[in-house]
Chains A and B, each alone.
Chain A
Amino acid sequence: MATKILVVDDDELVLIALEALLSPNGYEVTTAINGDDALGKINKKKFDLMILDILMPGMNGFELCEKVRALDEYKGVPIIMLTAKSGPEDKKRGMEMGANLFLPKPIAPQQLIDLIKKSLE
């Protein structure tokens, strides 16, 4: 069965880009345009990995990450924060909220695929 990835970003370009990259690599990609949208999708389906943006209107990536981590079935699911907001303070906060990896945008395609594979091991 294909590994399910949820990508959350308020920029539609990023969602299209990640879907274009990940789907042909055998991942089943679901996209969400904001935190509420993401939580709705999480309730309907169990994902194996999540990629979150930080700067989003309404609920930001940190808040979403914290909410996801509070769900029992998501305690061990890898969460990657992929963001243009990449200062050390942001990274620290992301890790505190339960993210496993903090990656600055834009990231090279092969590097992202390798890191996703590693996170899923």
Chain B
Amino acid sequence: MKKIFISSTGVRSGQSLAAWCIGEMLHSQGLRVGFFKPFVTRPVSDNGQIIDKDALLMKEYFNLPEDLSLLCPVVPEEVPGDEVAREEQLMQIEECYEKVQKDKDALIIMGSEKIFYEPDSPYLPDGVLVNKFNAPVLLVDKFQNENMSMYSVLAIDSFLKDKVKFVFVNQIPLELIDTAYNKLVPFFQKRGTPTIFLIPQDRILTSLTVRNIVDIIHGEVLTGENRLENLVESTSISSSHLKGSLHLFRRIYNKIILLGLEADTLNTPLISSKVTGILLTGGRRPAPIIVNICGDLGIPLAVTPFDTFVTMEKIQKQQTHITYKDVYKLKRFVQLLGGDEAIQKIVFQLDELDKF
């Protein structure tokens, strides 16, 4: 069985997307892919049970038969446990691992974003788990600068005794991609390992669709049903007591507008067809004329019961998480990674590692 441990140098590095991407690559080769994540790090409550969002994503996308409590068994305490507690955690993890890896051709093991030492972390460090599962590592590094990336990769590879086989340096600003390439790629190519992939910052990866937003703010869609897959790059907030604020509509492209104003006062001729969507916050329903105009222009118009503050908070929170519905992000990530060539390279290398 092929296995790979996905670790990261910090939070919001793109680890979830990387794990999903590797899973999909292996799945596309006809392999039965499994998923295991020892610790719940992205908790969500489901009928009183704490489950992990990554485990949920993988279960739903790959139709995994195992229960979520097997795929991601340990809900960590707020404070780190003692030696005995850690031993118990390890035993529980090993038991679940044995069950999850059965009848699989490939297993994605996901770490807890804790590869660097942290004295008060409630999780077992990824290093302990990597050694336990004896798995090659894909390290996801959120780019800060070339030197930080070089240090992180080398320090972790040394600590894990050459187990880091792949590195995704992620979210590199476009203006720095050439510098990063010229410094990082030759350096790691000369060493021969790990195989490094540079992934630029990308507007699609950081965007939500109108449908994503409507789902998370429990919105009711009044018009523009067929344009709910439009990408939303940013948001503008308008308000009834900002004079002339509706002029925003003239300047907006690919934005979603949250409106807390009296819907009847919408200055309809100013609504541009390039607006990605309009949300009316506070549960107010617009006048029929607004609905008609948005309908004619095909602009998604939705009403949410939440106020503007709560709506923005929910949208911002969601932007750091992906769900199985975000297949467009998965496809985009694979494309940025290098498409088929990257897939073949990674799969081939995993095949080779599997032989030893």
Contacts and interface: CB of A to CB of B under 8 A. Distances in A.
Main secondary structure of the interface of B (DSSP, over half): helix
Interface stretch (B144-152, B336-344, B347-355): B144-152
A11 interface: yes
Contacts of B115: 106
Interface in B3-30: 9-10
A76 B145 CA distance: 33
A24 B158 contact: no
Contact of A105 (B117, B147, B150): B117
Interface string B131-160: 000000000000001011011111111110
Contacts of A14: 154-155, 158
Contacts, number: 58
A55 B230 CA distance: 56
B197 interface: no
B86 to A, nearest CB: 14
B101 to A, nearest CB: 27
Contact of B156 (A20, A21, A106, A111): A106
B116 interface: yes
A107 interface: yes
A91 to B, nearest CB: 12
A7 B147 CA distance: 17
Contacts of A86: 117
A109 B152 contact: yes
A109 B147 CA distance: 9
A77 B9 CA distance: 31
A20 B117 contact: no
Contacts of A18: 151, 155
A112 B127 CA distance: 19
A106 B116 contact: yes
Task: Give the contact-size bracket for chain B.
Answer: 10 to 19
Nearest to B159: A106
A17 interface: yes
Contacts of A16: 150, 154
A17 B155 contact: yes
Contacts of B153: 17
Interface string A1-21: 000000000010110111011
Interface residues of A, number: 21
Contact of A111 (B116, B154, B157): B116
Nearest to B162: A13
A20 B127 CA distance: 22
A108 to B, nearest CB: 4
A104 B10 CA distance: 17
A84 interface: yes
Interface in A76-121: 84, 86, 103-111
Contacts of B145: 24
Contacts of A105: 117, 155, 158-159
Interface of A: 11, 13-14, 16-18, 20-21, 23-24, 84, 86, 103-111
Given A16-B154, A17-B151, 20 more contacts: A13-B155, A13-B157, A14-B154, A17-B150, A17-B158, A18-B155, A20-B150, A21-B147, A23-B147, A84-B159, A86-B117, A105-B117, A106-B115, A106-B156, A106-B158, A107-B117, A108-B9, A108-B10, A108-B116, A110-B148
14 contacts: A13-B157, A16-B150, A17-B158, A21-B151, A24-B147, A104-B117, A106-B116, A106-B127, A106-B155, A106-B156, A106-B158, A108-B10, A109-B151, A109-B152
Interface of B: 9-10, 115-117, 127, 145, 147-148, 150-159
A-B pairs, 9 with minimum CB distance: A17-B154, A21-B151, A108-B116, A13-B158, A20-B150, A104-B117, A106-B159, A17-B155, A106-B155
